[in-house]
Amino acid sequence: MKKLLIKNIGVLATPIGNTALAGEAQGAVKYIEDAFIYVEGGVIKAVGAAGDCAAASVATDPDVEVLDAEGCLVTPGLVDAHTHLVFGGWRQNELDQKLKGASYLDILAAGGGILSTVRATREADLDELAEKAEDVLIEMFGYGVTTCEAKSGYGLNLETELKQLEAVKLLSERNPVELVSTFMGAHAVPSEYKEKREDYINLLLEEMLPVISEKGLAEFCDVFCEAEVFTKEESLRILERAKELGLGAKIHTDEIFDIGGTEIAERVSAISAEHLIKCSDEGIGHLKNGNTVACLLPATSFYLGADYARAKDMIKAGVPVAIATDFNPGSCPVSNIQLAMNIGCLKYRMTPEEILTAVTLNGAAAIGRAGRIGSIEVGKQADIVVWAAPDLAYLCYRMGSNPVNFVIKKGIVYE
């Protein structure tokens, strides 16, 4: 069994627990100075201050690989709980329209936006999709991401949605980053159903969801519940059907307008609700009642020039906040979760401790993994980042550089 000792950790910073944290607990990160971590078979077996006898005894075992953290910061591996990782093409051509003032929904209504990526994704074959996404996944891993959620939603027909989800499966078999799949056939109404949207909803309910569930290709189902996309009523029908078929519910909502989509999150006990830029006090109440993690996407606000979600109000109200990239070709072509951390800290006014919890334990909770990953504790999987950084504040402060030294996934060290 592979054994690993990480020694000489200047400061170990980790949230604690197996569930999402909100309120004061979101910022109550545990610090251990001059620490060590001991791992066997990919699982954390001991954590503590270097003076502990456990560290001293394993350090002399010749079978143990020793990694010297050289007095630096160590945190749990980062969890990117919201990405649209797999798609064909890019959309840099929209930049010009954006600069001339076209809004996100203007571009979509004109047949561009998501729908232009749908065309490119339908044209690409499985290997092309997987290889393109793999390049991004390698970047993400280099930024410290050890687990990543990936949504479909650029196929909008059964064949292409399956191709996207198959690509995620292929990548999870050959890449150290653990992938979690979400079916998002309700990302937009495809052009061919523009005049008969009810038929598309039926296709989702009666054909796409049952096949995807039967093939076990997705753990969650997400819906873009937004003005001009899917209504609250449509979103409810889709998510209820997904739950019947054994998928967990997620919802993109209240991003552009406050349409009150969190009411649907509460009705289906969604594991997470995403974006929430326009979420009202009442909406925050629904998140709390639904036991739903608010998965916030600050780099998307930045890229769209939009407002910033009310992260601090949510935390105060007892709603756990996760932060993710939302990596996608339109509203956020950003694969670097550290950038989301920087923007989250500065614009949401979240403390570095709240940010760490948002990208580790709360991110893990947003994808149903908080019992296994998201913190550095005995019994958890050894997903760890060794940073070229002296402390946690440094991560939120150094914008645009990448202070990762080593990424450890299931106890294996990658440089």
Q: Residue 319: CB partners within 8 Å, gap ≥ 6? A: 22, 284, 287, 288, 292, 293, 294
Cβ distance to ligand NIG smaller for residue 231 or 405? 231
| Short-list 246, 174, 181, CA closest to 209 | 246
Cβ distance to ligand NIG smaller for residue 108 or 361? 108
Q: Enter the tokens of residue 303.
A: 């890229």
In the bound complex, what is the minimum distance in angstroms from residue 146's beta carbon to ligand NIG? Answer: 22
In the bound complex, what is the minimum distance in angstroms from residue 288's beta carbon to ligand NIG? Answer: 23
CA 384, CA 286: separation in Å to the nearest integer?
34
Q: Enter the tokens of residue 81.
A: 């709980």
In the bound complex, what is the minimum distance in angstroms from residue 255's beta carbon to ligand NIG? Answer: 6
Cβ distance to ligand NIG smaller for residue 104 or 406? 104
In the bound complex, what is the minimum distance in angstroms from residue 234's beta carbon to ligand NIG? Answer: 15
Give how far Cα 115 sits from Cα of 40, 139, 154, 203, 226, Å.
Answer: 47, 26, 8, 18, 16
Burial readout 119-143 (b: 16 or more C-beta within 10 A, e: otherwise): ebbbebeeeebbebbbebbeebbeb
Cβ distance to ligand NIG smaller for residue 143 or 154? 154
113 binds, among ligand NIG, Fe ion, none (CB under 5 to 8 A by kind): ligand NIG
Cβ distance to ligand NIG smaller for residue 141 or 224? 224
CA 216, CA 208: separation in Å to the nearest integer?
12
Cβ distance to ligand NIG smaller for residue 224 or 406? 224
190 binds, among ligand NIG, Fe ion, none (CB under 5 to 8 A by kind): none
Strand bridging mode 30-40 / 321-323 = unpaired
SS3 34: strand
CA 311, CA 350: separation in Å to the nearest integer?
8
Cβ distance to ligand NIG smaller for residue 164 or 375? 164
331 binds, among Fe ion, ligand NIG, none (CB under 5 to 8 A by kind): ligand NIG
Binding site for ligand NIG (CB under 6 A): 84, 113-114, 117, 224, 252, 255, 300, 326, 328-332
241 binds, among ligand NIG, Fe ion, none (CB under 5 to 8 A by kind): none
CA 7, CA 63: separation in Å to the nearest integer?
15
Cβ distance to Fe ion smaller for residue 250 or 409? 250
Instruction: Decide: 69 and 10 in contact? Cβ < 8 Å.
Output: yes
396 binds, among ligand NIG, Fe ion, none (CB under 5 to 8 A by kind): none
In the bound complex, what is the minimum distance in angstroms from residue 22's beta carbon to ligand NIG? Answer: 23
Binding site for Fe ion (CB under 5 A): 326
Chain residue whose CB lies nearest ligand NIG: 330
Residue 132 DSSP symbol: H
In the bound complex, what is the minimum distance in angstroms from residue 245's beta carbon to ligand NIG? Answer: 23
In the bound complex, what is the minimum distance in angstroms from residue 151's beta carbon to ligand NIG? Answer: 8
Determine which helix (DSSP H) or strand (DSSP E) holds 123, and give its type and residue range. Answer: helix 114-123
In the bound complex, what is the minimum distance in angstroms from residue 79's beta carbon to ligand NIG? Answer: 17
